[in-house]
Amino acid sequence: MNNKLSINDFKKVVDKVTTLSDGIFNEYKDDSRKGIQVALNHRINQLRKLKKDKSDFQKRLKYEKYFWNEGIEYIAGVDEVGRGPLAGPVVTAAVVLPHDFDAYEVNDSKKLSPKKRLELSKIIKQKALYYSIGVASNKIIDKINIYEATRLAMKDAVNDLDVEPKIVIVDAMNIDIPNKQVRLIKGDAKSASVSAASILAKVYRDHLMDEYDKKYPEYDFIHNAGYGTKKHLKALSKYGATPIHRKSFKPVLDLTNY
């Protein structure tokens, strides 16, 4: 045992191990010290999860890889956020990823914490070949309905890219564009490009609603992002609709004079 690392030193060493085949796991697997076994199992579980996360990420590149192998360079993933809220715009994003995109934590934005989404949005912007944002205001939503407003915002996002994608992978929508489209139900969990778009759209819209919260603090937008929470509905009933509320949505109609 004299040649063995102390528990503290072992923790420092094992935390730097990057592969399950490292000899340290075999060397210390029978160590009787509880602290060693706890640290050992913790790192094994971390590496197993990392391996699974990377494998799952490669599966989310399945569609992109198929078209890349067909010689199609530019594939845009498109997604939206904000169809359900009672206030604020619907926001969309379009993202074109490079072949070597390796941010394996990029996933459906709904599965990520706000902190992780913000972190990944910066990585996506750094590593993406192209990206753009499309926005349809509450006034547009009231004028043409939420479905058509979402399609319009998606169209704007695609058209604002600095390249014309040959393929557009979109989350269960049909966009009014000439580009070939691949429509995927729950596409933000099936395509890395759509996942990336969902993150950019979510971070953009959440920031926008945080800014609106400063202007209209009674509605608690910083916590509900415009969705119809109890506190939001109570404020609607008490104060009426703001200029950013969707007056064509029934809860707004029912709780105000509009």
Q: Under a CB-based contact definition with an 8 Å cutoff, are residues 75 and 68 in contact?
A: yes
Q: Residue 27 carries which side chain, given as an amino acid letter?
A: E
If you average pLDDT over residues 252-258, what whole number do you get?
78
Residue 72: per-residue pLDDT: 96
Distance CA 107, CA 199 (A): 8
pLDDT of 243 over the 50 cut: yes
DSSP reduced 3-state for 8: helix
Question: Which tokens go with 62?
Answer: 């399945």
Question: Which tokens go with 198?
Answer: 């969902």
Distance CA 127, CA 96 (A): 10
Q: Which of 208, 95, 205, 82 is nearest to 149 (CA)?
A: 82
Q: pTM of the prediction? A: 0.90
pLDDT of 137 over the 50 cut: yes
Per DSSP bridges, beta strands 75-81 and 90-96 are antiparallel
| Range picked from 13-27, 34-48, 142-156 for highest mean pLDDT | 142-156
Q: Under a CB-based contact definition with an 8 Å cutoff, are residues 76 and 171 in contact?
A: no
Distance CA 1, CA 252 (A): 71
The least confident of 68-72, 93-97, 170-174 is 170-174
Task: List CB contacts of 176: < 8 A, sequence separation 6 or more.
Answer: 151, 152, 155
Q: Report pLDDT digits (tens) over 201-212.
A: 999 999 999 999
Residue 48: per-residue pLDDT: 94
CATH superfamily entry for domain 62-208: Ribonuclease H-like superfamily/Ribonuclease H (3.30.420.10)
pLDDT of 257 over the 80 cut: no
DSSP reduced 3-state for 217: helix
Q: Residue 106: which pLDDT band, with cuts at 50, 70 and 90?
A: very high
Task: List CB contacts of 55: < 8 A, sequence separation 6 or more.
Answer: none
**Domain extents for the chain?**
7-59, 62-208, 212-255
Per DSSP bridges, beta strands 180-184 and 167-171 are parallel
pLDDT of 90 over the 60 cut: yes
Residue 3: per-residue pLDDT: 76
Q: Residue 1: which pLDDT band, with cuts at 50, 70 and 90?
A: very low
Question: Which tokens go with 110?
Answer: 């709904």
Q: What is the DSSP letter of 22?
A: -
pLDDT of 82 over the 50 cut: yes
pLDDT of 142 over the 60 cut: yes
Residue 170: per-residue pLDDT: 96
If you average pLDDT over residues 43-51, what whole number do you get?
93
Residue 213: per-residue pLDDT: 97
Distance CA 193, CA 94 (A): 8
Written as one string, the DSSP assignment of 62-127 is: HHHHHHHHTT---EEEEEEE-SS-SBS-EEEEEEE--TT---TT---GGGS-HHHHHHHHHHHHHH
Q: Under a CB-based contact definition with an 8 Å cutoff, are residues 195 and 220 in contact?
A: no
Q: Report pLDDT digits (tens) over 116-130.
A: 999 999 999 999 999
